[in-house]
Amino acid sequence: MKQFRSDNEIIEDIKRAENSHLAFRELIEKYQQPLYWHIRKIVIDHDDTDDILQNTFIKVWKSIGEFKQQSKLYTWLYRVATNESLTFLRNKNRRTFFNIDSLSAEWDARLESDPYFNGDEAELVLQKAILTLPEKQRIVFNMRYYDEISYKDMSEILETSEGALKASYHHAVQKIEKLLKQSLNLSSNE
């Protein structure tokens, strides 16, 4: 596994004109995977994720000069990626004329037909349950459950209080539990 330098060292090099491109490439290699999976869990589709991830890094490149190293680099990167993903979803929702039922059905269909979905039946049920959550709650759930990001860091990324995030995650778990129970009951009755 490739060893990467610290974020501060990479940032300093990016800000120096002579090494900027090489250093930025190192930044991409360091963060492409965590950011990819974060975006992928939001938008589901691989091609959409690819577009959003590229846009994220382009945006980061354009505004890296403004990045103040008071906050962590990775929380800033996650914030840019999250905002890009939410913008994508909002534009997509506008195109479906805010029809929530058709959106939900679309997500299910996407999951089931996704060539890059390798989960079994249980994982499909779980993903469908997660997709029923409102966008922001879904992001909170994924970041806490899958990425195990602390509430403190999540608060910086999503610009929401830790208390609100904890409440959101708690409610997300309750909703998913309920849906899984219903699914289990259905499958046990078959």
Partner 1 sequence: MNSQIDMKFESLHKKSPFTVPDGYFENFPDKVMMQINNLPEQHEPTTPRLIFKRQFSIAAAFIGFFLISYTFFTLISRHQDSRKMAENTTYEEAVLQYVNEKDLMETMIAEEQPMNPEQVEDYLINENIHESVVSDYFNQ
Contacting positions for partner 1 (CB under 8 A): 21, 24-25, 28-29, 32-33, 36-37, 40-41, 44, 46, 50, 53-54, 57-58, 61-62, 114, 116-120, 122-124, 126-127, 145-146, 173, 177, 180-181, 184
CA atoms within 13 A on the CB side of 84: 24
Judged by phi (left if over 0) then psi (alpha if -120 to 50, else beta), residue 39 lies in: alpha
Identify which of residues 40 and 137 has a Cβ nearer to partner 1 in the complex: 40
- CA-nearest of 185, 44, 48 to 127 is 44
Nearest distance from residue 92's CB to partner 1, in Å? 18
Identify which of residues 70 and 188 has a Cβ nearer to partner 1 in the complex: 188
Nearest distance from residue 72's CB to partner 1, in Å? 21
Nearest distance from residue 176's CB to partner 1, in Å? 8
What DSSP character marks residue 147? S
Identify which of residues 21 and 92 has a Cβ nearer to partner 1 in the complex: 21
Nearest distance from residue 174's CB to partner 1, in Å? 9
Give per-residue burial for 34-59: e unless 16+ CB within 10 Å, then b. ebbebbbbbbbbeebbeebbebbbee
